């Protein structure tokens, strides 16, 4: 290492704290970095890559770095380029989905696909599943296509194929899923398409079938870095184990306290058992937090330590000041929204903050409605992360369907979407006839359009329109490799007359759609300027892997509204968490499963640690959900260490308490007291009512330091085990 390089190297390492520096310096062998919220994990990952290259241990092409979001991947790529300007395009940095898709496009023919396969989104999946359900006479009224899609996704992520799923289908609902799952996989292959889960699962299949291919990628990626390892599922875990098996140079960064995606297959045990998988691994803890105040960190830590499945760690900060966390009790969701809006308005009027400094986090999307109403009334700008994405708008999906069909002529789902767009007078009966002919002749739907004269029952005018449509697709497929993606898309849109049609409609809605299509053309043009591979297929792959955060402008001067899950990895000066009530946060379906409840607690930790300066925790005494009104304080608010919080109550609550003290004889008055039921005596055989489970009979009462535990046999849902302080049982 030369003198100049050594000096640069020393400057590089001087930017890190002691724990970060130790983690960066350990280059060889398996490494586990436990990085708490706001502890600089992205810096450690990027400096580690720079150190690998600067030390001569690796070249950029020897390294693969995997993340979960395009935002994180882009940030990592930019930081590495600043540290090592000549790192070039040979280093693979990206999301699991994008990098695995890259491998699959290279090796697609080995597993029965062509390299131009289409990546199906949730809408495409659902359309295909509905078709399969109709073919198998499975009622979409009895069995939800969305639920079937979710069941198939969970099975794939658990590495359970259609045959194995079939053997475990022990009830009609699972049998319906098994039937659809089998046909769904067969149809995907016929359509030359993969869904998001396939992008993670198919590499497993590839490596199992072709050991030499696996060895090629093991040699290609001698150093593996993984961000957010706690969020990996079984398929991702397997691929990483296979890739690292030869050299064992795998460095994973994560925080078990931030594992919040079990519902989509993530397995926190992957990080908890890393030391078991790699007994010789080096372990480092990043516990210095650069984001939040001591009170915010203390509150979050006091709750998450109630979990059993976790590494022992405690974040600390050099910040000495900061306000206590504010817990606010309100009458209902309308008052919750009004108080949040009032607090934001008051802060904004001081002139020290912009609207972009505020974020409101909630457990489910439905909570945003009352908040949106509040912001609209006050004229405060806001952005919802997780609303309709740009690429999910109808006019955009219609154009993308044309482009997808040009790249993958076997994509019948896209073809059926646009065969009558713009209107050509081609209806469902005609489509069914073509479909039947294509299956009978064992050809694709598009190929069948070249044989319309052989199909019975087609009117001459309809046949002519189909022939013209097939000719249009053929013409633009020939142009694929002759003109740029931007020019091809622009010419196609012009020939279809899409913008002309919007102009003729002359409505506000059509003007918006026209602007959206023009924005799509601009996106294709911008892609052409920066893409490593300037092809339509590459653009479509990028679009298919866009997430909510990719379309969110974090520089906008607007309040951000998002779910707690969507907020992961972000930070805001002021954060409000709304709806901290039992049954909402934690969700009612999580309360009876210890692992689900621990995940809800981790979600509270994640939400709390998004705040830099101020954190407000709101709960409502009443909230209209499923016809229910009365609600109860979340157990998480009862678990916080009180030294980190201050409490506020709305004027409505305060007034109700004053009235209650004045009119004690009126038993009909709702009582606003502490919701704990510790002082209520429950006996075996007593009849009770639960807010969610209905009426039931107490079977047993077991005293406990954390609150008495009851087993209640509910009339409708059977036996449930409840912890008394949180059960909110009414004695009948």
Q: DSSP state, 588? A: G
Which residues are CB-neighbours of 138 under 8 A, at least 6 positions away?
132, 176, 179, 180
Question: Backbone dihedral region of 495: left (phi > 0), alpha (psi from -120 to 50 degrees) or beta?
Answer: alpha
Quick one: three-class SS letters along 320-370? CCCCCEEEEEECCHHHHHHHHHHHHHHHHHCCCCCHHHEEEEECCHHHHHH
E strand or H helix that includes residue 238: helix 234-244
Which residues are CB-neighbours of 342 under 8 A, at least 6 positions away?
none
Residues in the chain: 732
Residue 181 CA to residue 215 CA, distance in Å, equals 31
Question: Strand (E) positions, 508-663?
Answer: 559-563, 572-577, 611-620, 622-625, 628-630, 645-649
Pairing of strands 193-195, 118-120: parallel
Residue 223 CA to residue 239 CA, distance in Å, equals 14
* Phi and psi, residue 112, nearest 5°: 85, 20
E strand or H helix that includes residue 234: helix 234-244
List Cβ<8 Å contacts ≥24 apart for 483-491. Answer: 484/528, 484/534, 485/524, 485/527, 485/528, 485/534, 485/535, 485/536, 485/539, 486/521, 486/524, 486/525, 486/528, 488/406, 488/536, 489/399, 489/403, 489/520, 489/521, 489/524, 489/536, 490/521
Tell me how many helices (H) and strands (E) the chain has: 30, 22
Tokens of 68: 């979960």
The answer to whether 446 and 470 have CB atoms below 8 angstroms apart is: yes
* Phi and psi, residue 689, nearest 5°: -130, 135
Residue 158 CA to residue 135 CA, distance in Å, equals 27
Work out the end-to-end distance of the chain between its first and last CA atoms, rounded to an integer number of angstroms.
80
Annotated catalytic residues are: 41-42, 227-228, 258, 610
Sheet holding 223-226, edge to edge: 92-95, 63-67, 223-226, 250-254, 31-35, 282-286
The answer to whether 116 and 481 have CB atoms below 8 angstroms apart is: no
Sign of CA dihedral 157, 600, 631, 373: negative
Quick one: which of 283, 275, 315, 280 has its CA closest to 299? 315
Beta bridge partners, 698, equal 712
Sheet holding 694-702, edge to edge: 718-723, 709-714, 694-702, 687-690, 730-731
The answer to whether 158 and 168 have CB atoms below 8 angstroms apart is: no
List Cβ<8 Å contacts ≥24 apart for 149-156. Answer: 149/122, 149/125, 151/177, 151/181, 152/177, 152/180, 152/181, 152/184, 152/197, 153/195, 153/197, 153/264, 153/265, 154/264, 154/265, 155/181, 156/197, 156/198, 156/200, 156/201, 156/235
Determine whether 7 is exposed, middle or buried from the number of CB atoms within 10 Å of its CB (0-12, 13-18, 19+): exposed
């Amino acid at each position: 290492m030369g003198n100049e390089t050594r000096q640069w190297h020393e400057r590089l390492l001087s930017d890190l704290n002691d724990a970060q520096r130790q983690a960066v310096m350990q280059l060889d062998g398996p490494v586990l970095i436990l990085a708490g919220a706001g502890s600089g994990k992205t810096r450690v990952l990027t400096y580690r890559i720079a150190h690998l290259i600067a030390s001569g241990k690796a070249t950029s092409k020897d390294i693969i770095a995997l993340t979960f979001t395009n935002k994180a991947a882009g940030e990592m790529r930019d930081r590495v380029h600043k540290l090592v300007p000549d790192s070039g395009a040979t280093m693979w940095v990206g999301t699991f989905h994008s990098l695995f898709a890259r491998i699959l496009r290279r090796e697609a023919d080995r597993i029965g696909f062509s390299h131009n396969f289409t990546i199906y989104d949730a809408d495409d999946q659902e359309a295909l599943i509905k078709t399969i359900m109709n073919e198998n006479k499975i009622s979409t009224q009895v069995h939800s296509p969305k639920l079937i899609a979710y069941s198939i996704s969970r099975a794939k992520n658990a590495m359970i194929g259609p045959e194995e799923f079939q053997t475990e289908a022990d009830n009609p609902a699972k049998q319906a899923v098994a039937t659809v799952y089998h046909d769904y996989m067969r149809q995907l292959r016929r359509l030359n398409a993969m869904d998001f889960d396939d992008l993670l699962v198919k590499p497993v299949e590839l490596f199992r079938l072709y050991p030499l291919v696996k060895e090629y990628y093991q040699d290609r990626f001698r150093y593996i870095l993984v961000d957010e390892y706690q969020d990996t599922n079984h398929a991702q875990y397997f691929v990483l184990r296979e890739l690292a098996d030869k050299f064992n140079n795998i460095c994973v960064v994560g925080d078990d306290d931030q594992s919040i995606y079990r519902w989509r297959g993530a397995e926190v045990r992957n990080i908890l058992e890393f030391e078991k998988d790699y007994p010789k691994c080096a372990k480092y803890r990043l516990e210095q937090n650069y984001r939040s105040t001591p009170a915010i960190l203390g509150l979050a830590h006091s709750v998450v330590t109630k979990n059993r499945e976790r590494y022992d760690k405690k974040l600390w900060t050099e910040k000495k000041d900061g306000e206590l966390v504010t817990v606010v009790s309100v009458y209902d969701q309308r008052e919750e929204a009004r108080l949040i809006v009032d607090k934001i308005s008051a802060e904004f009027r001081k002139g020290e903050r912009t609207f972009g400094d505020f974020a409101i986090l909630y457990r489910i999307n439905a909570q945003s409605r009352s908040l949106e109403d509040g912001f609209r009334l006050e004229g405060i700008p806001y952005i919802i992360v997780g609303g309709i994405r740009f690429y999910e708008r109808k006019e955009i999906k219609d154009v993308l369907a044309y482009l997808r069909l040009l790249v993958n002529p076997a994509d019948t789902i896209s073809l059926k979407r646009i065969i009558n767009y713009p209107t050509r007078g081609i209806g469902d009966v005609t489509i069914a006839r073509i479909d039947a002919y294509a299956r009978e002749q064992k050809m694709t739907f598009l190929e069948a359009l070249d044989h319309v004269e052989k199909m019975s029952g087609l009117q001459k005018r309809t046949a002519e329109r189909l022939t013209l449509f097939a000719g249009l697709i053929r013409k633009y497929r020939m142009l694929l490799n002759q003109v740029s993606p931007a020019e091809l898309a622009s010419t196609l849109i012009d020939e279809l007359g899409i913008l002309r049609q919007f102009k003729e409609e002359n409505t506000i809605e059509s003007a918006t759609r026209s602007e959206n299509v023009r924005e799509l053309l601009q996106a294709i043009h911008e892609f052409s300027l920066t893409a490593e591979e300037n092809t339509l297929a590459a653009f479509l792959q990028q679009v298919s892997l866009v997430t909510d955060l990719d379309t969110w402008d974090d520089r906008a001067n607007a309040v951000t509204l998002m779910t707690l899950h969507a907020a992961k990895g972000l930070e805001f000066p002021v954060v409000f968490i709304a709806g901290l009530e039992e049954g909402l946060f934690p969700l009612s379906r999580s309360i009876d499963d210890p692992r689900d409840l621990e995940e809800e607690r981790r979600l509270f930790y994640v939400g709390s640690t998004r705040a830099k300066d101020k954190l407000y925790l709101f709960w409502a005494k009443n909230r209209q959900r499923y016809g229910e009104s009365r609600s109860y304080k979340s157990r998480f608010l009862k678990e916080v260490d009180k030294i980190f919080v201050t409490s506020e109550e709305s004027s409505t609550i305060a007034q109700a308490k004053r009235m209650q003290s004045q009119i004690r004889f009126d038993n009909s008055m709702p009582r606003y007291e502490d919701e704990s039921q510790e002082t209520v005596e429950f006996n075996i055989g007593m009849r009770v009512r639960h807010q969610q489970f209905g009426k039931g009979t107490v079977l047993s009462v077991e005293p406990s330091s954390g609150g008495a535990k009851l087993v209640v046999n509910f009339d409708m849902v059977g036996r449930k085990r409840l912890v008394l302080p949180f059960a909110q049982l009414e004695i009948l």
